[in-house]
Chains A and B, each alone.
Chain A
Amino acid sequence: MAREGDLKLLGLVVSPFVVRVRMALSMKGVSYEYIEQDVFNKSELLIRYNPVHKKVPVLIHHGKPICESLAIVEYVDEVWGGGAPPSILPADPYERATARFWATYVDDKLFPAWIGVMKAATEEEKAEKVSQTLAVLLHLEEAFAKCSNGKAFFGGDSVGYLDLALGCNLFWFETLREMFDVELIDEGRTPLLASWAQRFGEAAAVKDLVPNVDKAVEHAKKMRRVFVH
């Protein structure tokens, strides 16, 4: 177990990528020092430990940084692997490849689409981005059917890598519903994802890590002021 001084996480409360890492650390029962960052006014610490991207999350373990949320989740799984803490990635290589494939898909396709909804300057643009997001979610609905094998989560009986990869975005879907009255995960269109989202939200490991929608709304408004012209 890491002593608090050994492990630090530079984060942002509303970043899904940070939430993802916090969920992984929580699954492993690991304690750490959390240092909130101001992404509009980057700290020296952030620039020092992630000079290439200057982005959160950054995990700092024994003074060495690990960047990129999916790489951090794999790192956490490897360092605190074996024994009592549950494994985040599946054991079988083919299942691991499948989980990685869909996690990458979430980051490459789903994230830009829903961020596009949040940042849309016109109604037309918003509608287009919503459409894109829904199309991506349809693929993820199919992925759930295949990966879960009839069980509760992408990872099977318990939360796993792909659950974290997708699940950390859910609070933002609620935020977008509140801001723009758009329903992204809908029982009618993606029933499997809808019921999975419910279960994920209630899972012990992740429950208390999801920020308040209000905070996300506030952040979204700030982003829109900065980025939308």
Chain B
Amino acid sequence: MTHARTSKPYRPASVSILKSHSIFSTHQRQRVNNHLSSVLAAEAPQRPTMSPEKQETATAAVRVLGRWPSPFVIRVLIALRLKGVEYELVEEAMGNRSELLLASNPVHRKIPVLLHHGRAVSESLIIVQYVDEVWASQGPAILPADPHARAAERFWSQYVDDKFPTAIRVLRGKVAGDKDEAAAQVAAALEHLEEALVQCGRGKGYFGGDSLGYLDIALGSHVGWVRAVERMAQVCLLDEAKLPNLAAWADRFCAHPAVPDVMPHTDRFVEFSINNDGVPKAAHTNSK
């Protein structure tokens, strides 16, 4: 273990009092948590360093390496919450990959990584399926039972990942690109997904039917950023008039109990973008 939270001497597995959805910025939270940690360490009775075996059991059985604004991390957290699985979110600092991340995902060096009893699972959609399978006996099923429905949700989830991430990064101003083209790409993809919702959901609330499922999570995890770029780039993407089912679905998704704590309000995404994407505030509007 090489990251700050589990360094010796003994302390509880997590002293992160302020969780990722708090109103404080990451930097503020880090300072508060570090201060708390040192206070606790100073006050704790002197005891010998924990043995490695005991340290393992003190570490949460389920840990997620990630950071809140990442839609891919959000997916994993929603899946765990749906299944009622307790987890520890190990926040990866921006622009500075921890040793734990590099060791757990040496191929891609990306978040999210799920550590289950220390074993690493990478790639958000793969993690969501893993969670669905490991905790099959608790919580709702994430993937549907019917093989054709499963294949359809896998198809559309891959489609979402082909069409949204790059376009959203362009619209955020995180990477260079034609914003009009990016917006058109997202809009076209949403049109396909509007049809898919009608087909997959069959008039019920979610792609998964009555309950939130795999494709809901795959697409829903992008809604935070979609709404943020709508505001920043001044484009209408989840257009109620053109996409009535999807617009209603987006509201429903965001209000689902498993979601708000891990995918906060649009304001937070906009604030994050302004603070981190390296684009001046004025440039967030499309120049027309």
Q: Hey, which bits of chain A sit against chain B, CB under 8 A?
A: 52, 61, 64, 66-68, 70-72, 74-75, 78-79, 93-94, 96-97, 100-101, 104-105, 139
Contact B130 A93 (CB under 8 A): yes
B134 at the interface (CB under 8 A from A): yes
Nearest-neighbour CB distance to chain A for B120, whole angstroms, equals 9
- Between A and B, 8 residue pairs with Cβ closer than 8 Å are A52-B192, A61-B148, A66-B148, A70-B154, A94-B130, A96-B133, A97-B126, A101-B123
With A94-B121, A104-B123 already in contact, the answer to whether A68 and B107 are too (CB < 8 A) is no
Q: Write out the residue numbers on chain A whose beta carbons fall within 8 Å of the beta carbon of B133.
A: 93, 96
- Select B148's contact among A64, A70, A94, beta carbons within 8 Å: A64
With A71-B155, A100-B126, A105-B107 already in contact, the answer to whether A94 and B119 are too (CB < 8 A) is yes
Nearest-neighbour CB distance to chain B for A120, whole angstroms, equals 24
Contact B150 A97 (CB under 8 A): no
Q: How many angstroms from the CA of A78 to the CA of B149 in the assembled complex?
A: 12
Contact A75 B147 (CB under 8 A): yes
Q: How many angstroms from the CA of A20 to the CA of B126 in the assembled complex?
A: 20
The count of residues in chain B whose C-beta lies closer than 8 Å to any C-beta of chain A is 22
With A64-B148, A75-B148, A75-B150 already in contact, the answer to whether A97 and B155 are too (CB < 8 A) is no
Q: Scoring B residues 154 to 175 as 1 if CB is less than 8 Å from chain A, else 0, what string do you get? A: 1100110000000000000000
B127 at the interface (CB under 8 A from A): yes
With A52-B159, A79-B147 already in contact, the answer to whether A68 and B192 are too (CB < 8 A) is no
Nearest-neighbour CB distance to chain A for B149, whole angstroms, equals 10
Most buried by B among A64, A67, A79: A67
